[in-house]
Structure 1
Amino acid sequence: MFITADTANIDIAADWQRAPLDKISRLAEYPVALIGDAQKRMGLMSAALRLVTPGLTMAGTILPIHAREGDNLAIHRALDDARPGDVLVVNGHGETSRAVFGDILGEICTSRGIAGVVIDGSTRDVDELTAMKLPVYARGISPAGPWKNGPGRVGYPIACGHVVCNPGDAIIGDSDGLVVIPRDDLDAALERTIAQEQTEQRMREAIRAAVDS
């Protein structure tokens, strides 16, 4: 870690499998709204979690973090085990009065190849994070900084944005929002999304034909 703190009260899960990044990248070629429609509109995170770094998109594997309200010790500890392509998905209990993420953690994330950050809580330093081109989604923005006391958990299933997030699942985000896809469902999800796109393209063609006639 880049801070000096006792992390004995942060529980770390044993090794777990991550979804293949190449399959996630293929699915991420499509908009989140389309992917969600193809999954019967399930797995879409709450609209309260919004993109605070405008114009950026995100796709990667979920590294779930359960943090105490207003405390980011678990996030710091999680970065020790993070791999390129991971997305930090943080259950911060929806606390928005104190940010648990900012530009210093952002610098660590970019150096580690982290694909993005999702916080059911608050962030800060949004101009700096945008300049880093680090996609960050959060429930709120607050200049108030975090505590670093714990406790917390890393690598265990969590709830974030009203969606269950398992370690290694796929998460994709764009300007509309976020969708979570179970890692074992990626192939089928891609097939459903392609079929949905074909259905919608036929609808567009029918609309244009009716206008032109």
Structure 2
Amino acid sequence: MAINLTKGQRIDLTKTNPGLKKVIIGLGWDTNHYHGGHDFDLDACAFLTDENSRVINELDFVFYNNLSDPSGAVEHTGDNRTGYGDGDDEQIRIDFSRVPSHVHRIAITVTIHEAEARKQNFGQVNNAFVRVVDEETGREILRFDLGEDFSVETAVVICELYRHNGEWKFNAVGSGFSGGLAALCRNFGLQV
């Protein structure tokens, strides 16, 4: 049975699940019945950072235009432009055994594409979640439901996976940003 986390909770991944090497980070959401003339296009991203939460190499930013980091440890499975349907809307695969030694954190984020031009924000998004699945067995290890705590934000740091004493842990972050993808990139040390 999966563990349900709340904002701010941290949990061991590899220590409490011996042998866990590959996970699927599944992200899902629904949009409110708002119709401003545009569909919602939410995008999942992964920022592979050093111990100071900075991306060292721009190729360590994994998103719809860069589906894998150079090591192949983190892979985005593709852009879902509508989010329609049940289950995961987008997925990111992580192979812990291949994560380069300079990467200490993997921040998982979701942004709204062209949010400002379309007058969209996370106040219009509901049922957002992230789940971690053991890729080998298909077992859901944990789930974090974001709740409805957002209003004008256009980007959210959903969670982060980080190294601690040679093991990988999960942190349920749920922190919103205004300024969309560009603001997130600057936050993680990337030039836009």
Q: Could you say which TM-score interval applies, normalised by the shorter chain?
A: under 0.3
TM-score, scaled relative to structure 1? 0.25
Higher percent of residues as helix: 1
TM-score, scaled relative to structure 2? 0.27
Higher percent of residues as strand: 2
